[in-house]
Amino acid sequence: MGLMGTAKPNNKDLAFIKELIEAGKVKPVIDRRYPLSEVAEAFRYLEKKHARGKIVITVEH
């Protein structure tokens, strides 16, 4: 798994981001969904840097 960078958010920045999310101006981009049984494949996809958004692992109840 990779990180794009590290940041030390402060209360002012977090409040601003919260406002953007609540206003609908920030939306997550989901590239693919994998069931828990295919988590190894999800990691391979992520490691190859193909992802253009978040990779979601779904867990069935």
pLDDT in tens, 15-33: 998 999 999 998 888 999 9
Domain range holding 42?
27-61
Question: 49 pLDDT band (50/70/90 cuts)?
Answer: confident
> Are the CB atoms for 52 and 31 separated by under 8 Å?
yes
Q: What is the mean pLDDT of the chain?
A: 86
pLDDT surpasses 70 at 61: yes
Residue 5 lies in a domain: no
32: exposed, middle or buried (Cβ count in 10 Å: 0-12, 13-18, 19+): middle
Higher pLDDT, 9 or 43: 43
Counting the structural domains of the chain, the total is: 1
Instruction: Report yes or no on 52 lying in a domain.
Output: yes
**Partners of 56 in beta bridges:** 33
Widest distance between CA atoms in the chain: 40
Q: C-alpha angle with apex 19: 54 to 28, nearest 5 degrees?
A: 10
Is 55 contained in some domain? yes
Q: Is residue 51 part of a domain?
A: yes
pLDDT > 60? residue 1: no
